[in-house]
């Protein structure tokens, strides 16, 4: 199979969708000539022109609002919010408009809008450019929330998001863009709401999201050296959540660690822990461990930033605690 970076896989999904369907177009700040702040949309203007690759004013409210209107009118817009921190400026449109119209119209109005955004720590962008806010959006009925961790998944899930009839908030992590991985020769859509088993194991399940999938793999290799077999599950889609896959894994291993880069307090891991406590309580041989960032704004200073965010070592420590080592 060919190998693509995460960045190339996102671009490939956009290109394939735009070639296949003239109703698909993209818009956002500096996505045309500049190719986006993270170089994801480079080259798309040359192929598709300014009608379908649109630079926008610096107004996240306007970007999302225009996307909602276009989606309700029958288009399939993909709008880019440069940093997920800036989603906060468009929450009225996302929460009160995009998420509600299909329900309030009795299904007569569809909103096939995809909102791409990126963020995350690890390169010292400071407190206003690196937050992980996925749990905020999972809380809103009417939205779907996707957070892929590999090139194969980001390509297949972005395609499925574009062709979903509901608004989808699509999270990408800044540090994942250069990550390489094998992808199928032909783009294969991945259904929303299906988790992926990244690694089989028997002693403990680690449910990880985004960059923590890769850090969990590092931790699993280290744990194996100490005789601990670790299974890793990537939900990929946070809403809808593949609860059955998570429960089945925990029934097998009887222990679980939930890991994400967002702060632990009220993070998505809390919801996963609640689901497992309700659906798999009798199978748990130890308390559920949660790994996340410390409850503090992300510092600009690299040393302080690294102190706040979780690492492979944190996942390994949680694994060892849950198995009693």
Q: Which residues are catalytic?
A: 60, 129
For residue 200, the 8-state DSSP code is -
Residue 165: how many other CB atoms lie within 10 Å: 13
Q: Is 216 helix (H, G, I), strand (E, B) or coil?
A: helix
Q: Is 165 helix (H, G, I), strand (E, B) or coil?
A: coil
Collect all residues with Cβ–Cβ distance below 8 Å to 274 and sequence separation of at least 6: none
Calculate the alpha carbon distances from 14 to 71, 195, 268 in Å: 16, 22, 28
Which candidate, 173, 148, 159, places its Cα nearest to that of 234? Answer: 148
Residue with tokens 């040359």: 46
d(CA 80, CA 11): 12
d(CA 71, CA 52): 14
């Amino acid at each position: 199979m060919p190998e693509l970076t995460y960045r190339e896989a996102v671009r490939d999904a956009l290109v394939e969708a735009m070639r296949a369907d003239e109703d698909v177009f993209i818009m956002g700040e500096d996505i045309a000539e500049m190719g986006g702040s993270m170089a994801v949309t480079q080259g798309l203007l040359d192929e598709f022109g300014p009608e379908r690759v649109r630079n926008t004013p610096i107004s996240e409210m306007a970007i999302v609002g225009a996307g909602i209107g276009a989606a309700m009118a029958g288009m399939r817009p993909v709008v880019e919010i440069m940093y997920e921190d800036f989603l906060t400026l468009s929450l009225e449109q996302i929460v009160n408009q995009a998420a509600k119209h299909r329900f309030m119209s009795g299904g007569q109005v569809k909103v096939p809008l995809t909102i791409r955004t990126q963020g995350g720590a690890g390169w010292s962008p400071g407190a206003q450019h690196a937050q992980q806010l996925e749990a905020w959006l999972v809380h809103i009925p009417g939205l779907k929330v996707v957070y892929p961790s590999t090139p194969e998944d980001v390509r297949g899930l972005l395609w499925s998001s574009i062709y979903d009839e509901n608004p989808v908030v699509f999270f990408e992590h800044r540090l994942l863009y250069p990550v390489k991985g094998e992808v199928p020769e032909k783009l294969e859509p991945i259904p929303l709401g299906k988790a992926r088993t990244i690694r089989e194991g028997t002693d403990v399940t680690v449910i990880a999201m985004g960059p923590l999938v890769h850090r969990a793999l590092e931790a699993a290799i280290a744990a194996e050296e100490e005789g601990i077999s670790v299974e890793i599950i990537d939900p990929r889609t946070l809403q809808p959540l593949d609860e059955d896959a998570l429960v089945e894994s925990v029934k097998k291993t009887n222990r679980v660690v939930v890991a994400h880069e967002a702060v632990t307090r009220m993070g998505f891991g809390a919801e996963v822990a609640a689901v497992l406590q309700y659906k798999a309580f009798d199978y748990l041989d130890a308390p559920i461990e949660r790994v996340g960032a410390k409850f503090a704004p992300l510092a600009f200073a690299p040393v302080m930033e690294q102190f706040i965010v979780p690492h492979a070592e944190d996942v390994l420590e949680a694994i060892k605690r849950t198995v009693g080592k």
